[in-house]
A and B are shown apart, each in its own frame.
Chain A
Amino acid sequence: MLLNYNQLGSLKYVLLGITGVICLFLLLPVIFIILLSFGSSQWMIFPPPGWTLRWYGELFDDPRWFEAAFTSFKLGLMVTVLSVILGFFASYALIRGRFAGRGFLRALFMTPMVMPVVVVAVALYAMFLRVGLSGTWLGFVIAHTILAFPFAVIAISNSLERFDKAIEDAAILCGASHLEAIWRITLPSIRLGILSAALFSFLASWDEVVVAIFMASPTLQTLPVRIWGALRQDLTPVIAAASSLLVILTLVLMAIAASLQKVLNR
């Protein structure tokens, strides 16, 4: 009866109470930030004495914020492309291949997701300093691709597993070369998986802080790096505005990803 909602008795209200408090606990800071970004107090007094769009104005006026956002965006796109391409071929090998050590290879591909990010960041930082890639676009793209890659592999592998190999073979018998068959038949058939992979890769890069801090330079900063820097110095509400925008963008992308998953699992 403990696992029956209607038979819990008074215990139900205890659990409901705790859950309610926790939900509030989880929800409030998010709402708080969004509200703060519209508050007129510079010291973020809450409740704010008035409401204003001033901080958003400052945000959009400051070219450095815009630059940082643009950098994040460009980086995200590049990482997405590289991650999806590498991820597709890796997934294809894992799913269609019949060589020994597939399990080991898969585990290896997942490792960047499992390791503490700071270790990855520091290791890459060390290497890039040596080879002169520190603070460069190339270094940044490489670093973020390493982090995004496991997500791409997972998303594409899922799709590929469901795609019957016989269809690809039928295309080959129809006269297409293996690559042609993959390009004209397999890829369009798993496009939802590829889209998922792209979305998750983009988000992995867009939201990433730790590695970005190490890969950045004064002239090359992503949005999270900029926010990080600002947070260490002062706490102006402009950061609240920037954060709110980040939140909304991530939420939109996540909602798209979720509905994609639903379509995929149909």
Chain B
Amino acid sequence: MTSSFLSIRNLRKSYGEVVAVDGVSLEIPRGEFLTFLGPSGSGKSTTLYAVAGFDEITSGDILLEDRSILGVPPNRRNIGMVFQRYTLFPHLTVAENVAFPLRVRGQDRTTVKKRVDEMLALVRLSNFADRMPAQLSGGQQQRVALARALAYDPPVLLMDEPLSALDKKLRDEIQIEIRRIHQETGVTILYVTHDQEEALRLSDRIAVFNHGRIEQIGTGEDLYTKPATRFVAEFIGDSNFFEVATVASQSDGRARATLPDGTVMDGLVTHRATSRSERFELMVRPQWLSVVNEGGKGIRVTVNDVTYLGDSSSALLETSWGQAIWLKGPAAALRGLTAGQTVMVGWDFAKSELFEI
């Protein structure tokens, strides 16, 4: 087995009865930007903190460049971290903050000064060197935190939802900065967020966490086009889950599904779940639906509401079996639709997949 730069092997962390991380394994190549994506309580932060070294893990191993770092205390792991909360040292200036890890390592004044200047230039805050943290905005504080974390050239940079306290516009700006810094420095980044858009924007790969396990790991495109579980399908991108009346297996391993209104679909890919409930739902993204002519392939729906969103519109539809679903498309295409109307909507049946619930 080829060894990766950073390896997490079967990590388990439980607090008494509660299992926070349940067997997480990851192989991360050098320089990758990997995001842990998931809802709160899914174990993504706990995994991150295990890499940082703040909590003792129950079992498993973490290897950096082939050596286990489990026994190494957090201050020796040489890992950089940016927290969700503002953690600049309040009594030191911006420059002194960035210099702190270098001072602790006993580096001499000239080296430290040079490096601090470099780092502040990297995050584009050179003019703020002598300011105090209290004088900085939230976004600026996080950029200084980033400079401080990178000052000692760590092999791995951990980021725990660093932008969630900022407003949207600022978040978007700093996301671009983070991406640029990643490209300039080539540092391996583990990033935690619950915002799928952020994950898609920033990452090389995304690991989707749920209940302490990784449900799927892949590029954003992988996760969007080929979700492995219902959770991933729902978490990344928009999705509708149609009720399915019956499902029958076919000889090629795929399935035939019948919707409650009688529509039959063949050759569907199925994703099984651990529940083994034998009940399925059909995943259809709102963007795949479009209004088709009468007699076309599709299902009959009643329009409940149409919302204009600028470059697109979304329509709330009700199926003949009473389920509410969404349709999203260019505003022009949906212009004629009004509430109360009955239309046929269709999609490329081959794209939709069955998910066991």
Q: Do A and B come from one complex?
A: yes
| B89 and A167 form a contact (CB under 8 A) | yes
| Partner-binding segment picked from A68-76, A112-120, A175-183, A233-241 | A175-183
Distance A99 CA – B105 CA, assembled complex (angstroms): 33
Contacts of B88 in A (CB 8 A): 167
Distance A189 CA – B105 CA, assembled complex (angstroms): 22
| B101 and A175 form a contact (CB under 8 A) | yes
| A164 and B101 form a contact (CB under 8 A) | no
User: Are A170 and B91 also in contact (CB < 8 A) when A175-B75, A175-B152 are?
Assistant: no
Residues from 167 to 202 in B contacting A, C-beta threshold 8 Å: none
A174 is an interface residue with CB less than 8 A from chain B: yes
User: Are A176 and B83 also in contact (CB < 8 A) when A169-B54, A171-B89, A171-B100 are?
Assistant: no
Residues from 280 to 312 in B contacting A, C-beta threshold 8 Å: none
**Chain A positions 206 through 224: 1 when the CB is less than 8 Å from some CB of chain B, otherwise 0:** 0000000000000000000
Contacts of A167 in B (CB 8 A): 87-90
| B83 and A170 form a contact (CB under 8 A) | yes
Residues from 159 to 173 in A contacting B, C-beta threshold 8 Å: 164, 166-167, 169-173
Contacts of B101 in A (CB 8 A): 174-175
A188 is an interface residue with CB less than 8 A from chain B: yes
| B79 and A173 form a contact (CB under 8 A) | yes
A183 to chain B, nearest CB (A): 11
> Which residue of B has the minimal Cβ distance to A188?
B91
Distance A208 CA – B170 CA, assembled complex (angstroms): 57
A264 to chain B, nearest CB (A): 14
B346 is an interface residue with CB less than 8 A from chain A: no
User: Are A189 and B81 also in contact (CB < 8 A) when A175-B104, A175-B105, A180-B104 are?
Assistant: no
| A172 and B74 form a contact (CB under 8 A) | yes
**Interface magnitude class on chain B:** 20 to 34
Partner of B83, one of A166, A178, A184, A189: A166
Distance A169 CA – B145 CA, assembled complex (angstroms): 13
Contacts of A189 in B (CB 8 A): 89-91
Distance A169 CA – B160 CA, assembled complex (angstroms): 13
> Which residue of A has the minimal Cβ distance to B101?
A174
A185 is an interface residue with CB less than 8 A from chain B: yes
A205 to chain B, nearest CB (A): 29
> Which residue of A has the minimal Cβ distance to B105?
A175
Contacts of B83 in A (CB 8 A): 166, 169-170
B85 is an interface residue with CB less than 8 A from chain A: yes
Partner of A173, one of B80, B91, B105: B80
B10 is an interface residue with CB less than 8 A from chain A: no
| B75 and A172 form a contact (CB under 8 A) | yes
A37 to chain B, nearest CB (A): 44
Residues from 72 to 127 in B contacting A, C-beta threshold 8 Å: 73-81, 83, 85, 87-91, 100-101, 104-105
B6 is an interface residue with CB less than 8 A from chain A: no
B252 to chain A, nearest CB (A): 53
Contacts of B76 in A (CB 8 A): 175
User: Are A177 and B91 also in contact (CB < 8 A) when A166-B85, A171-B100 are?
Assistant: no
| B75 and A170 form a contact (CB under 8 A) | no
User: Are A169 and B87 also in contact (CB < 8 A) when A174-B148, A177-B75 are?
Assistant: yes
B52 is an interface residue with CB less than 8 A from chain A: yes
Contacts of A177 in B (CB 8 A): 73, 75
Partner of B104, one of A164, A176, A188: A176
| A175 and B78 form a contact (CB under 8 A) | yes
Residues from 210 to 244 in B contacting A, C-beta threshold 8 Å: none
A190 to chain B, nearest CB (A): 10
> Which residue of A has the minimal Cβ distance to B76?
A175
| B89 and A173 form a contact (CB under 8 A) | no
| A174 and B100 form a contact (CB under 8 A) | yes
Distance A256 CA – B355 CA, assembled complex (angstroms): 69
Contacts of A166 in B (CB 8 A): 83, 85, 87
Contacts of A172 in B (CB 8 A): 74-75
> Which residue of B has the minimal Cβ distance to A181?
B75
Partner of A174, one of B85, B91, B104: B104
Interface centre among B52, B74, B89 (most CB of A within 10 A): B89
| A173 and B81 form a contact (CB under 8 A) | yes
> Which residue of A has the minimal Cβ distance to B77?
A173
Residues from 134 to 154 in B contacting A, C-beta threshold 8 Å: 145, 148-149, 152
> Which residue of A has the minimal Cβ distance to B98?
A174
Contacts of A188 in B (CB 8 A): 91
Contacts of A180 in B (CB 8 A): 104
Provide a sorted-by-A list of 17 A–B residue pairs whose CB atoms are within 8 angstroms. A169-B74, A169-B83, A170-B81, A170-B87, A170-B145, A171-B89, A172-B74, A173-B77, A173-B149, A174-B104, A174-B148, A175-B76, A176-B100, A178-B75, A184-B100, A189-B91, A191-B91
5 additional contacts, CB 8 Å, given A170-B148, A175-B76?
Answer: A166-B83, A171-B89, A173-B52, A175-B105, A175-B152
Lowest 8 A-B CB distances belong to which pairs?
A174-B101, A170-B87, A175-B104, A188-B91, A167-B87, A172-B75, A173-B81, A166-B85
